[in-house]
Amino acid sequence: MQTERGHTMGTTTAAGAPGSVSRIEAVGLALPSGRVTTRELLDSRRHRFPLDLEKHTGIVERRVCAEGEDSLTLAVGAARNALAHSRQGASSLDMVLVCSITRWSGGLSWQLEPSLSLVLADAIGARRALNFDVSNACAGMLTGVHVMNDFIARGVVDRGLVVSGEYISSLGVNAARSMKTIASKQLASLTVGDAGAAVILERGEEGSAGIASSQLSTIAEHSDLCIGRPCEDGPGATMVTNASSLHRAAIAHSSHTIHEALERSGYPPETIDHVIPHQTSISAIKAGIRHGERKVGHYSADVVLNLAEFGNTASTTHFATLYRCLMERRFKAGDRVMMICSASGLTVGAMVFTVDEELCERYGRRD
């Protein structure tokens, strides 16, 4: 489907297994051991200027990798955590997709070959699984779920793992060292944190709870609004972002995608119980929800925020948030959830699914 200004990937029909549905069988999370508060990060700046980042973003602290932790270790940890909550073992996985932006392995060494998906599949014992990497900025895991959902719907695989490990905290360290004014294009880098997340999808029975729709749109004319590159004067990476323009573009294009996702799901907007947006900042999330509701209709009975302790964890943000909600028993069987993403590229997307009873039963504070 071609939109007026962008390219859209929509939900595909179940050509291989008519009537089948992909259900979320398990979710996993891995957090690094380090913590850095927003105050500590701002205190590390070389150039001081007024900035109340905590008030503007809602981010109190973020988790950061320590020695021995990186993109790969976080991804492996999240995958193992998902398997610990699963009724299946790694040998049952037909496919493994790794969706990280960052590919740090062995510290701040970028790994191209072998692929992270191959290394991860071997590490968790999923040696018979097909594997490949998918990267789509902060929309990475939702893109991976979209792809996995299609493979399941077509009858190619019965069960698969989508996982990401994001070691992006060097962006904040490097930004704090070089920013001179509040107008710096590295300002958004101060919001990021590290995390790994994983989700296991499997074929469900016809008519059962699961993924009702998945919609992703790319508006490539905005691809230059956020660029990541190696840092020239230190380890890790640097990100330059025209944050206000990126935010305006994401808001302008997201309502159509949300409308498409809801329409394909068959759920009216007002029947959505929870919305998990991309975790950027409180002000940006509120503005995005207000705009979406003006265009689509009321869908934000419960907007779930995971910013205070995690910050923006890039491609892992939605499933890290889902994991916490399941552990806190915030969701119940039958609840309808919509995940909304916005990512550099520019990519906007929405996925609508129903939480089933079996998923809820395996999570809680007892763990």
CATH of the domain at 302: 3.40.47.10
- pLDDT-wise least confident of 7-21, 40-54, 106-120: 7-21
Query: 142-152 as b/e, with b when 16 or more CB fall inside 10 Å?
Result: bbbbbbbbbbb
Strand order of the β-sheet with 7-9 is: 7-9, 211-218, 347-354, 336-343, 274-277
Tell me how far apart the alpha carbons of residues 38 and 191 are, in angstroms, rounded to a whole number: 8
Determine if the pTM surpasses 0.85.
Answer: yes
Residue 202 domain flag: yes
Residue 366 domain flag: no
Residue 1 domain flag: no
Nearest to 262 by CA among 301, 210, 297, 305: 297
Q: How much is the pLDDT for 288?
A: 92
Can you tell me the mean pLDDT for 53-64?
96
Residues whose CB is less than 8 angstroms from the CB of residue 110 and which lie 6 or more positions away in sequence, other chains included: 103, 104
Q: How much is the pLDDT for 19?
A: 57
Residue 32 domain flag: yes
Is pLDDT at 296 greater than 90 in this prediction? yes
| Per-residue CA distances from 122 to 96, 119, 131, 160, 302 (Å) | 10, 5, 10, 14, 39
The 10 Å Cβ neighbour count of residue 54 is 16
Residues whose CB is less than 8 angstroms from the CB of residue 100 and which lie 6 or more positions away in sequence, other chains included: 71, 75, 116, 133, 135, 140, 164, 165, 166, 315
Q: Which residue has the higher pLDDT, 44 or 207?
A: 44
Q: How much is the pLDDT for 366?
A: 47
- In degrees, rounded to 5, the angle at the alpha carbon of residue 134 between the alpha carbons of residues 323 and 89 is 50
Tens of pLDDT, residue by residue over 169-204, are: 999 999 999 999 998 999 999 999 999 999 999 999
Can you tell me the mean pLDDT for 149-171?
96
Query: What is the percentage of the chain residues whose pLDDT exceeds 70?
Result: 94
Residue 285 domain flag: yes
Q: How much is the pLDDT for 9?
A: 55
Tokens found for residue 191: 């919001």
The 10 Å Cβ neighbour count of residue 235 is 12
Domain range enclosing 170: 7-11+19-361
Tell me how far apart the alpha carbons of residues 105 and 194 are, in angstroms, rounded to a whole number: 14
Is pLDDT at 275 greater than 70 in this prediction? yes
Nearest to 30 by CA among 78, 68, 72, 62: 78
Residue 367 domain flag: no
Contact 187, 243 (CB under 8 A): yes
Number of domains in the chain: 1
Residue 30 domain flag: yes
Residue 190 domain flag: yes
Contact 90, 124 (CB under 8 A): yes
Tell me how far apart the alpha carbons of residues 64 and 90 are, in angstroms, rounded to a whole number: 28
Q: How much is the pLDDT for 14?
A: 34
Q: Band of the pLDDT at 96, cuts 50, 70, 90?
A: very high
Largest Cα–Cα separation, the chain: 60
Can you tell me the mean pLDDT for 44-58?
92
- In this structure, what DSSP letter does residue 225 have? G
Q: Band of the pLDDT at 274, cuts 50, 70, 90?
A: very high
